[in-house]
Amino acid sequence: MIKTFFKILSLATQYKYWMILAALMGFLTVGSGIGLMMTSSFIIASAAIQTPIYQLQVAIVGVRFFGISRGVFRYLERYISHEVTFKLLAKFRVWFFKSLEPLIPSKKKDLTSGDLLSRAIEDIESLEHIFVRVISPPFVFVAVAILMFTLLNLFNVKYAVIFLTTFVLSAIGIPTLTYFLSRKLGGQIIKLKSQLKAIAVDSIQGLSELIVYGQIQKWKNIFSEIEDELLRLERKMNLIQSLHEVLTGLAMNITVAIMLYAAIPDVTNKLLNGVYLSVITIGIMASFEIVFQIPLAFQYLTKSVEAAKRLIEITDTDQINNLSHNLNREHQSTAYPQNEIQQIKKYDLKISDLTFSYDGHKKALDKISFEVKEKGKIAIVGASGSGKSTLVNVICKLWNYGDGEILVGDISYNNISAEKVREIISVVPQNVHLFTGTILENLLISNENASEYEINEALKKSELYEYVQSLPEKVNTHIGELGKKLSGGEIKRLGIARAILRNTPIIIFDEVTSHLDSVTEKNILSMIEQISKDKSILFITHRLNQMEMFDEILVMSNGRIIECGNHKELIKQNGNYNKLLLSQNKKMN
Amino acid sequence: MLFNKQLFDLTKSDRNKFYLIILFGLIASVFTIAQAFILSRTINNAFLLHQTLQQVFDLIIIYLSFSIAKAISIWLQNFFSSKVVFIIKKNLREQLINKIKELGPLKLKSERTGEIVNTLLNGVDKLEDYFSKFLPQIFLAAFIPILILLFVLPRDLLSAIIFIVTAPIIPTFMFLIGSISEKLNQKQWVTLSRMSAYFFDVLQGLPTLKLFNRTKETIKRIDNITNIFRIKTLKVLRVAFLSALVLEVASTISVAVIAVSIGLRLLNGDFNFTDALFILIIAPDFYLPLRQLGVSYHAGMEGISSFERISELMKNESSETMNSNQTKKIIEYDSPIVFENVSFTYEERNIKALDSISLVIEPKKVIALVGQTGSGKTTLMNMLLRFINPAQGMIKFGNQNLFEINEDEWRKNIAWIPQSPHLFNKTILENIKLSNDDATIQGIIEAASKSKIHKLISSLPKQYDTLVSEAGDNFSGGEIQRIALARAYLRNAPIILVDEPTANLDPIIEEEIMNDMFDLFKGKTVLIIAHRLNTIIKADKIIVMKNGRVDAIGNHSELLEKSLYYKNLFEQIDMDK
């Protein structure tokens, strides 16, 4: 827990001066409150014993000053601490993005799934309170404690010690007490919550089955059973947390009572001027303002640490990946020559005995060998799980391979950086991700320096030009406004236009034709045939249509290439390829 | 604006407990007043009357007793507010779940599962502070100052006037600045959510950004956008925080003014010290409830916006299947299902999904539904599953109107294999047993064996007790299909509805599964949405659908002669070869 907290803190150190300033303002706000109440009671008490008015002038000015300064300092404190908060938020966002980046694409779980990311974003946003709620109050508390100790010490060290003892005891003791009371509860609540969530997700996804098989009532019963338990614990937690306010108030009153008990004999014995009896009492009451904030700091601390833990967990899921990436990084900084791109003169890929494993045991790629000649057209077919996507990720140098070798223009992948590899290879992915923004912005993502001419050419080649021209704002149309109006085919075409814009010598098409109806599929295939005339093409698919256009077709199964040849040869072989082809053609739609 | 009538009505069932929250809040502040009274007296006695500790000791004890009484009142206040929250959350969730069931899978499809779950769990949670803090505080902020005023008024008219004059300043300014900054705030919320959306977007698009070598620029952009957001937001907050300033200054200045004015009158000797100290001590408490209202303002906003999302879900109209007269039981089993001029249109769509469909599904026959996407096959199937009702026309089961038969009663006759069956995060045993609560273990094993999945299950370490999530990725699409097959078999129902899988299954495995299915359900009524030639040929009767209408009915060879459309579907396959 402490480690996680320091991890967050270390991200925040950059803004330490801002934080100190904000905490100072917080202190001055509470201080002004104390000043206001103490000087006010001083005036009243002094007036009661007919102190001449000129002796009260300073106090009267002081009251007015504190009356205004408290508001001003409060304002400044709010303002500055929000400044800090937003700066931290930016910092946390960038940190998370940077930590996630090397792990993408993940080998173990989908790190870009909506649920995981929205949870992460929520967690990051919950961290924004860490300064205002967690870091600042303890500092203000310490400053107030010192201030009051000094002030009370002016009268009698006894008062100062009594105050400090109860003040510190209530700030530490009360949260500690409730922490121990609720220690187990917190974990149980989180567990029940995630259980409840899992059940809800599971049941809503399987709602049809539950309804058809008459299981709804049973589900409701299970849900409400867990919910009841959760609500009961949450209520218990609420009641324990409400002890904070109750006990802090009580502690303040007890402090006042003890102080009266200690000071009244001094007044009787003329050791303390009676005027100060009310000044001290009321000052103490005002100083407890900050103690009321301390329990909240503890609560937020736990919450922040949990949020941070979850975030760190996400970025730690892929240990192996992480390691290999670190290795990769080292390579980048040391081994790659600056002008590596010049060395690549030929844009062909030679892949020999390529082996890759996720966990070190089961091979996802097993001795894959093939060649993509310059301007060659290769197709890779196979069912899902055969290793096609793994191969794409390795060829794009998103993952590093184990044994074997990939050569681009006779240079080993081990000697060039991932960035350079991606400068010569474009991918049209299975799921084209469109960013919020205009069509133009989405195209420029692949090549920010593209000219208007190039963009229009890319749109023409991907057969989107007319469609885009028909839109009222043309390329400046917002993707979000198009919403679901973009068909699956149009989204794929945008992905292809992006790849064209990059103008790389090698293009990989990863399942571009899946989830498309047969007419659209046919159109897109013919289009790809057109645009790929002067490019090297690697075409990944599980649908066998227009396969005649490829020089070579590799059939993959379980990480191996089990057959290869061109369309006609493979049919003649009457092996797996032919089987796939026949069974596919038995399908309608 | 923040006092939402609908939300307040949620406390209806426990209005008494809600009033108890307010009552104990008021009792607590009565003790606060009493404390101030005792404290001022104690100090006065020691200071001006020169009483000794022994003489004021009783007062200190009374002071402490009041403190404890106050603490107990506050705790009781919380006790009842947590009770109210408990009940409200429970009721709301129950209503939501009932709504989810009523809406059914078809209507819910438009909403994402994640969003519904979020509303059901977090959305309801966010109402907590609204009910426990904000709503009672509205009442307390109105009552407590009046209560305090009642005690100040007899002691000092001037201070009472200062209170009366300044008190409205706070809510007025809060409202004034609040309404200005609320508008700004709302704008800000939009930017904030855009900001989050942008961040979400780039994270989700990370694979793309990486492939295009754009991650470094993106980091800069995140930083940039967040900074622009910060500057913009602070501009807004500069105004919004003025309300905090006014709140603070109004209360501190009036304390200062009261202190000075009372002080001056004390000097003149026309005031007594006890009352002066009492007023000074109680002054901050006069403003406290108003300030606390400001603090819980955010909770109030959040509760209301969260409730809006909940109401949105509740507003969805449920389908009309909740017929009251669907009470009848099935009289004759093994009856044909007859569609008579059945039409259906989905909400917010103009085109009829089904357009005057008439057809017969004979008992104990295999009937294939064929047609392109959008031809109405699935709609027809959904009617038989009783997810939707026909807008016009009638479906008869023998002589009975299908929609007069009790829904659950009807479904007992149906086994269903959807396109992508859902496996619940339970044991394999429970997953198969889902279709038949009375099934024995032997029965389940038999179903699994017949569906050719028993071997695989037996090979797992925990066999039938393996949690599906543990098996997780080890289940291929084909294996999931087979578990669904076992589930359907175990149902032992006379009518089997099947939606043949299309996507991403190994075609060879797919064929085997379909063959096994036909063996398994011999002698039953099987209605199958078919995509594969093999399946279609095996059917006793093929119904060809096109744009919501029946194009032709017959067996394969009949249709090749009779239906041009069917022939076309066929030639398309030939062309692909």
Per-residue pLDDT in tens (0 to 9) along chain B, 577 residues: 456 677 777 777 778 888 999 999 999 999 999 999 999 999 999 999 989 999 999 999 999 999 999 999 999 999 999 998 888 888 888 888 888 877 777 776 655 667 777 778 878 888 888 888 888 888 898 899 999 999 999 998 989 998 888 887 777 776 666 666 566 666 666 666 667 777 777 887 888 888 888 888 888 888 888 888 788 778 777 777 777 787 788 888 888 988 988 998 888 888 889 999 999 999 989 988 887 887 777 677 777 777 887 887 777 766 554 455 566 666 666 788 888 888 887 776 677 777 888 888 888 888 888 877 777 888 888 888 888 777 788 887 877 777 877 777 788 888 888 877 887 877 888 888 888 878 788 888 888 887 778 877 777 777 878 777 654 455 767 778 888 888 888 888 888 888 877 655 666 677 777 778 887 777 888 888 877 777 777 888 888 888 888 888 888 778 777 877 777 776 654 433 3
With contacts defined as CB-CB under 8 Å, which chain A residues touch B318? none
> B175 and chain A: CB distance < 8 Å anywhere?
no
Give the number of domains in chain A. Answer: 2
The tens digit of pLDDT for each residue in A422-480 reads 888 888 887 788 877 788 888 888 888 888 888 888 888 888 888 888 877 788 877 76
Shortest Cα distance from B392 to chain A (angstroms)?
24
Q: Are residues A124 and A257 in the same domain?
A: yes
- Residue in B with minimal Cα distance to A521: B576
pTM: 0.78
Say if A426 falls within a structural domain.
Answer: yes
Question: What is the residue range of A533's domain?
Answer: 340-585
Q: Are residues B67 and B211 in the same domain?
A: yes
Q: Are residues B172 and B265 in the same domain?
A: yes
Q: Are residues A451 and A486 in the same domain?
A: yes
Which of B315, B347, B374 lies at the terminal end of a domain, its last residue? B315
Say which of A117, A224, A253 has its CB closest to residue B64: A253
Question: What is the residue range of B539's domain?
Answer: 337-576
Beta-carbon separation of A201 and B201 below 8 A: no
Say if B485 falls within a structural domain.
Answer: yes
Say if B322 falls within a structural domain.
Answer: no
Say if B327 falls within a structural domain.
Answer: no
Say if B325 falls within a structural domain.
Answer: no
With contacts defined as CB-CB under 8 Å, which chain A residues touch B241? 75, 78-79
Say if B324 falls within a structural domain.
Answer: no
Say if A201 falls within a structural domain.
Answer: yes
Cβ A510 vs Cβ B207: under 8 Å: no
- Residue in B with minimal Cα distance to A381: B506
Here the contacts of B435-440 (C-beta below 8 Å, separation 24 or greater) are B435/A213, B435/B487, B435/B488, B435/B490, B435/B491, B436/B490, B436/B491, B436/B492, B439/B490
Q: Are residues A268 and A132 in the same domain?
A: yes
What is the DSSP secondary structure assignment for residue B405, as one 8-state letter?
A: B
Say if B457 falls within a structural domain.
Answer: yes
Burial class (CB in 10 A: 0-12, 13-18, 19+), B9: exposed
Say if B332 falls within a structural domain.
Answer: no
Higher pLDDT, A49 or B187: A49
Q: Are residues B277 and B344 in the same domain?
A: no
- Best B103, B117, B292 residue to mutate vs chain A (most A CBs within 10 Å): B117
Say if B277 falls within a structural domain.
Answer: yes
CATH number at residue B475: 3.40.50.300
Which of B315, B350, B376 lies at the terminal end of a domain, its last residue? B315
> B234 and chain A: CB distance < 8 Å anywhere?
yes
Q: Are residues B293 and B347 in the same domain?
A: no
Residues with Cβ within 8 Å of B260's Cβ and at least 6 positions away in sequence, in order, are: A43, A60, A63, A64
Q: Are residues B406 and B541 in the same domain?
A: yes
Say if A331 falls within a structural domain.
Answer: no
Q: Determine the Cα–Cα distance for residues A124 and A121; give it in Å rounded to an integer.
A: 5
Q: Are residues A361 and A263 in the same domain?
A: no
Shortest Cα distance from B477 to chain A (angstroms)?
10
pLDDT of residue A326: 40
Q: Where are the beta strands (DSSP E) in B29-125?
A: none
Here the contacts of A74-77 (C-beta below 8 Å, separation 24 or greater) are A74/A29, A74/B244, A74/B245, A74/B248, A75/B241, A75/B242, A75/B244, A75/B245, A75/B248, A76/A25, A77/A22, A77/A25, A77/A26, A77/A28, A77/A29
Q: Are residues A365 and A507 in the same domain?
A: yes
Q: Determine the Cα–Cα distance for residues B6 and A210; give it in Å rounded to an integer.
A: 32
> Edge to edge, what strands does the sheet with A552-557 contain?
A425-428, A506-510, A536-541, A377-381, A552-557, A560-565
Cβ B326 vs Cβ B404: under 8 Å: yes
Q: Are residues B402 and B268 in the same domain?
A: no
Closest CA to A48 of A256, A274, A282, A286: A274
- Best B42, B47, B533 residue to mutate vs chain A (most A CBs within 10 Å): B47
What is the DSSP secondary structure assignment for residue B386, as one 8-state letter?
A: T
Cβ A472 vs Cβ A482: under 8 Å: no
Q: Are residues B290 and B392 in the same domain?
A: no
Beta-carbon separation of B277 and A44 below 8 A: yes
Give the number of domains in chain B. Answer: 2
Q: Are residues A424 and A544 in the same domain?
A: yes
Q: Are residues B61 and B164 in the same domain?
A: yes
Say if A332 falls within a structural domain.
Answer: no
Say which of B93, B108, B249 has its CB closest to residue A68: B249
- Best B248, B278, B495, B504 residue to mutate vs chain A (most A CBs within 10 Å): B248
Q: Are residues B21 and B139 in the same domain?
A: yes
Say if A328 falls within a structural domain.
Answer: no
The tens digit of pLDDT for each residue in A80-105 reads 988 888 888 888 888 888 888 877 77
Say if A217 falls within a structural domain.
Answer: yes
How many CB atoms are located within 10 Å of the residue B533 CB?
Answer: 17
ipTM of the complex: 0.81
> A326 and chain B: CB distance < 8 Å anywhere?
no
C-alpha B71: how far from chain center = 36
The tens digit of pLDDT for each residue in B27-86 reads 999 999 999 999 999 999 999 998 999 999 999 999 999 999 999 999 999 999 999 888
CATH number at residue A8: 1.20.1560.10
Q: Are residues A256 and A351 in the same domain?
A: no
Res. A325: pLDDT tops 60: no
> H or E segment at A384?
none
Say if A321 falls within a structural domain.
Answer: no
Say if A50 falls within a structural domain.
Answer: yes
Q: Are residues A132 and A260 in the same domain?
A: yes
With contacts defined as CB-CB under 8 Å, which chain A residues touch B93? 224, 227
Q: Are residues B62 and B123 in the same domain?
A: yes
The tens digit of pLDDT for each residue in A343-399 reads 677 788 888 888 887 766 677 788 888 888 888 888 888 776 678 878 888 888 888
With contacts defined as CB-CB under 8 Å, which chain A residues touch B214? 445
Q: Determine the Cα–Cα distance for residues A431 and A488; give it in Å rounded to an integer.
A: 10
Q: Are residues A64 and A204 in the same domain?
A: yes
Cβ B470 vs Cβ B500: under 8 Å: no
CATH number at residue A458: 3.40.50.300
Q: Are residues B308 and B376 in the same domain?
A: no
pLDDT of residue B174: 66
Q: Are residues A301 and A352 in the same domain?
A: no
The tens digit of pLDDT for each residue in A431-445 reads 788 877 788 888 888
Q: Are residues B276 and B380 in the same domain?
A: no
Beta-carbon separation of A37 and B255 below 8 A: yes
- Averaged pLDDT of chain A: 82
Q: Determine the Cα–Cα distance for residues B286 and B145; give it in Å rounded to an integer.
A: 5
Q: Are residues A307 and A344 in the same domain?
A: no
Cβ A44 vs Cβ B273: under 8 Å: yes
pLDDT of residue B59: 93
Which of A278, A313, A348 lies at the terminal end of a domain, its last residue? A313
CATH number at residue B218: 1.20.1560.10
Which of B256, B285, B315 lies at the terminal end of a domain, its last residue? B315
